């Protein structure tokens, strides 16, 4: 590790993000916590972070700073997003689920939940994170914690966890859309295509909410999602809603090879076959058909479709559109290699506010880690 580069990055991020704090002692604690998330050994609990700071009184002080203080985490997230945009615009906003297994039942939001990405039930917390993503890096900038029914309607449990009055019960799909809408409406950032997984959701209302907010969307869909072929020259035109997989398999002649760089396998070059078909989807509120593009990818031409995506980026060519979807792989890699290490899943407190403060600072730590690593890579390349 080049300590000078890491120190420069952490100092710059701290000066930028923590300028929102009014008091010097809060700025100091925030930087201590940030450095602990980056450099403390083991799980990034407050105890381990305090041990890295090295002060006997640090644990109690940092615990109060995260769990009981009054500072608002939202301006820090907005500053992080603005900081990343100044350094290089993201190509997309990738919304993904974060699953946090918990043995106990007192941490805010804990319930027995289904994780579509895992294909199984688990006990713990679930959150939706919005990542600024490009081919070079990805960083989480905004979060929304899923609150099951009992955490909203059980007054005693709600009070104990300090759940704000305006927070309500949501489905995982509603939670995912809400974090994108919050980012678009409340932050001074450039809107980008929103990539999200729609395989377990009600596709029509989800897309309608994003469309009303004028957020372009690229959503991964299930093979069974029913769409209407809009191109009269293609098979299935006039047949009404058909399964997306059937539409794509019936139009294999449109496939073309697309080369893309895999961020997971050490930036290996890959080639897939891909095609797009013009389709339409009924907008239940507008009462009309919305034009969409259906994108299919075959990583092996002899096997069934690998992935299906639906987008309202109607003028996007097939190759750039397919490469855009690969940003979800970039996010998955960066979470596994960096997000886990800086403690995105490591908060052990019970309160709503404490969870949000911890994950906000963990997101800042993630940004510092990927930027420092990128700087080191550039230095070694030179």
pLDDT at 26 over 90: yes
pLDDT at 180 over 80: yes
pLDDT single digits (tens) 28-79: 999 999 999 999 999 999 999 999 987 767 889 999 999 988 899 999 999 9
Choose the weakest-confidence range: 251-255, 282-286, 373-377.
373-377
Strands (E) in 116-262, as ranges, are: 120-133, 138-145, 194-197, 217-220, 226-229, 242-243, 256-262
Query: Which is nearest to 192 in space by CA: 96, 94, 93, 95?
Result: 93
- Residue 207: the pLDDT is 92
- Residue 120: the pLDDT is 79
Higher pLDDT, 52 or 363: 363
Contact 120, 223 (CB under 8 A): no
How large is the greatest C-alpha to C-alpha distance in the chain, in angstroms? 74
What is the mean pLDDT of the segment spanning 332-342?
95
Q: What percent of the chain has pLDDT over 70?
A: 96
Cα dist from 324 to 93, 169, 215, 218, 351, whole Å? 10, 32, 16, 9, 37
Length of the chain in residues, anyone?
382
Contact 350, 100 (CB under 8 A): no
Other CB atoms within 10 A of residue 351 CB: 18
Query: Which is nearest to 307 in space by CA: 261, 344, 272?
Result: 272
Query: Which is nearest to 180 in space by CA: 139, 217, 222?
Result: 217
């Amino acid at each position: 590790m080049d300590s000078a580069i890491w120190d420069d990055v952490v100092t710059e991020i701290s000066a930028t993000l923590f300028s929102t704090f009014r008091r010097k002692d809060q700025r100091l604690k925030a930087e201590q916590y940030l450095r602990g998330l980056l450099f403390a050994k083991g799980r990034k609990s407050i105890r381990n972070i305090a041990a890295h700071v090295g002060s006997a009184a640090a644990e109690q002080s940092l615990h109060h700073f995260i769990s009981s203080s009054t500072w608002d985490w939202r301006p820090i997230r907005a500053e992080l997003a603005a900081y990343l945009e100044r350094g290089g615009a993201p190509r997309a906003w990738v919304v993904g689920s974060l699953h946090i297994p918990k043995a106990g039942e007192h941490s805010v939001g804990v319930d027995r939940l289904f994780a579509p990405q895992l294909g199984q039930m688990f006990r713990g917390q679930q959150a939706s994170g919005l990542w600024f993503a490009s081919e070079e890096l990805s960083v989480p900038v905004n979060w929304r914690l899923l609150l099951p029914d009992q955490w909203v309607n059980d007054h005693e449990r709600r009070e104990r966890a300090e759940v704000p009055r305006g927070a309500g019960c949501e489905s995982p799909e509603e939670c995912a859309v809400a974090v994108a809408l919050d980012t678009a409406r409340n932050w001074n950032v450039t809107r980008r295509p929103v990539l999200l997984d729609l395989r377990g959701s009600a596709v029509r209302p989800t897309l309608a909410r994003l469309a009303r907010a004028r957020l372009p969307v690229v959503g991964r869909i299930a093979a069974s999602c029913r769409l209407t072929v809009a191109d009269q020259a293609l098979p299935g035109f006039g047949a009404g809603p058909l399964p997306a997989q059937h539409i794509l398999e019936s139009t294999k002649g449109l496939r073309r090879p697309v080369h893309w760089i895999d961020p997971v396998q050490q930036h290996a070059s890959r080639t897939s076959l891909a095609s797009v078909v013009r389709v339409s989807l009924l907008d239940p509120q507008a009462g009309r058909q919305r034009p969409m593009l259906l994108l299919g990818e075959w990583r092996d031409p002899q096997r069934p479709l690998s992935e299906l995506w639906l987008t309202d980026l109607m003028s996007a060519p097939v190759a750039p559109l397919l490469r855009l979807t690969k940003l979800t792989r970039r996010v998955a890699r960066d979470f596994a290699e960096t997000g886990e290490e800086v403690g995105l899943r490591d908060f052990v407190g019970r309160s709503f506010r404490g969870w949000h403060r911890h994950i906000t600072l963990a997101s800042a730590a993630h940004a510092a880690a990927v930027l420092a690593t990128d700087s080191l890579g550039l230095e070694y390349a030179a």
